[in-house]
Amino acid sequence: MRITVILAIFLLLLAACAGAPNVQRDDNGNMFGIAAVEHVSVRVASGPLPHPIVITAQGTLPDTCTQLDAVTLPDDTEHLQISLTTMRASGQPCKKQKQPFSKEIVWQGLGLRQGEHVITVNGVQAVFVLEEDNLAPTPTPTSTPLPPVLLPAIEPTATPAPTAVTAAAASPESSCTHRITFVSDITVPDKSKIAPAARFTKTWRLRNSGTCTWTEDYQLVFAGQERLSGPESQALGQVVKPGKTIDISVSLVAPSNKGTYASSWLLQTPSGHKFGLGKDGRTPFWLKIRVPRDAPSPEDAVGSIGGTVWHDLCASNLATAESLPPGCDIAPQGGVRADGVHQPDEPPIVDAEVSLGLGACPASGLAVVRSNSAGRFVFEHLKAATYCLSIDASSEHNHFIFIPGQWTTPPAGQITVKLGPGQALAQFDFGWDYEMAP
């Protein structure tokens, strides 16, 4: 009993040190997450306009290894939301001992109007009041004249050619920063089990924690490990301002072999700059999946064979030597019969018994199914092979359904089918022309 209790305590401590939910690990094992904020207070600094807004966020860190990381400030005066993230470096001795923190955040709050406001830090709200509009002071123009400047005579010269401006100098990206904060896994959390060769969609929720606005022309780009049949890149497709979040999805395919697989991704600017998580913006975000078993070998993949049994209509009593009614054809033995073409308005034949045999026709005895209310039938779980599909109109079960009449397709009511690995063939229809019906 004592050993069991000690083992349980050890496992609880080990699980606690693994970190909170909604965390990401980089290639070095460093963990990034959202700080657990418990209380928020706000004060408005005194002095000349604009008055800085001083926010104090208090909470606890889960262990002695976790530290506060990045702060994302509001990017407008309508959505006063602040994000505070954490980082825990790998390879450090870690005690599961909560550490209180108090983080002072200064925001200029430029443009806030007079009145009551609510600000949120990691979901915890606080209320503050501005006594006046928080606007920058308007500079007072002066009328002091400038001293006169005497310019020397300038000899006329040829106009110099314009200097080319490089893309980097002209790009607005050079005056702002690119950072990403991971928020959560919307689909396929890490270590999800995915069936071999199955297609799935991975969605991350990410926050723009830099100062650059992401445009529609930004790209999601593959950054390493397993590409999982995903694209090398795909357009972001929407604008994401600093401080805002976006759900980014990519369609992927699991490997065919059993194992654990990881795939790393970054964002890329229109000028080709790649960026991701962390203080330096260089850490990719990623996904990890588990494929629990190998995919079946091609020769073991199963398929199906199916089709429809239908009443092939022909108004033979309206036939003349000069013309045939629609849906009719000349029978091989003479006279008129239905044309063997399945038209949408031709009715199904229900409860017909269909046989399957292994090998080329004639062959039977492998399986028997009956057509449903729509005339459909299917043989499932078939390995790649050659089969004979047939309907014996004179059998003990079928002769009450079919006789008298004749097959219009396929000839003699049987057809040889070659089924490949994993194929689903459903085009094998049986048309019957009743002798006593139109």
Give strand pairing partners of 407.
432
Of 52-66, 98-112, 130-144, 185-199, where does mean pLDDT reach its minimum? 130-144
Tokens found for residue 219: 């790209």
> Residue 251: pLDDT above 90?
yes
Tell me if domain 174-291 and domain 300-434 are identical in fold.
Answer: yes
pLDDT given for residue 390 in this prediction? 97
pTM over 0.75: no
Domain ranges of the chain: 17-130, 174-291, 300-434
Q: How far lies 72's CA from each of 125, 127, 156, 236, 241, in Å? A: 16, 19, 54, 21, 12
The predicted-structure confidence for 199-219, as pLDDT tens digits, reads as follows: 999 999 999 999 999 999 999
According to CATH, the topology of domain 174-291 is: Immunoglobulin-like (2.60.40)
Report residue 1's pLDDT band, with 50, 70 and 90 as the boundaries: very low
Report residue 105's pLDDT band, with 50, 70 and 90 as the boundaries: very high
Which one-letter DSSP state was computed for residue 258? S
pLDDT given for residue 160 in this prediction? 45
> Residue 418: pLDDT above 90?
yes
Give strand pairing partners of 45.
none
The predicted-structure confidence for 323-372, as pLDDT tens digits, reads as follows: 788 888 888 777 788 888 988 889 999 999 999 999 999 999 999 999 99
Asked whether the beta carbons of 290 and 198 are under 8 A apart, the reply is no
Which one-letter DSSP state was computed for residue 342? -
Give the number of other CB atoms < 10 A from CB of residue 223. Answer: 19
At residue 121, what are phi and psi to the nearest 5 degrees? -120, 110
Indicate the burial class of 140 (C-beta count within 10 angstroms; 0-12, 13-18, 19 or more): exposed
CA 23/CA 17 separation, integer angstroms: 13
The gap from C-alpha 357 to its chain's centroid, in whole angstroms, comes to: 43
Average pLDDT for 17-24: 52
CA 286/CA 260 separation, integer angstroms: 13
Average pLDDT for 68-81: 82
The hierarchical CATH code for the domain 300-434 is: 2.60.40.10
Tokens found for residue 98: 């909560």
Give strand pairing partners of 262.
288
Residue 240: which of 277, 205, 266 has the closest Cα? Answer: 205
CA 7/CA 220 separation, integer angstroms: 44
308 SS3 class: strand
Pairing of strands 99-107, 36-44: unpaired
307 SS3 class: strand
Q: 270 or 11: which carries more pLDDT confidence?
A: 270
287 SS3 class: strand
Average pLDDT, the chain: 83
Tokens found for residue 157: 């010269």
Pairing of strands 336-338, 124-130: unpaired
The predicted-structure confidence for 258-311, as pLDDT tens digits, reads as follows: 999 999 999 999 999 999 998 889 899 999 999 998 876 666 678 899 999 999
Give strand pairing partners of 250.
202
pLDDT given for residue 128 in this prediction? 86
> Could you tell me the end-to-end alpha-carbon distance of the chain, in angstroms, rounded to an integer?
85
Report residue 9's pLDDT band, with 50, 70 and 90 as the boundaries: very low
Indicate the burial class of 413 (C-beta count within 10 angstroms; 0-12, 13-18, 19 or more): buried
Q: 123 or 367: which carries more pLDDT confidence?
A: 367
Q: 10 or 333: which carries more pLDDT confidence?
A: 333
CA 197/CA 298 separation, integer angstroms: 12
Half-sphere exposure of residue 194, counting CA atoms within 13 Å on the CB side? 28
The residue count for the chain:
438
Give strand pairing partners of 180.
208
CA 328/CA 312 separation, integer angstroms: 9
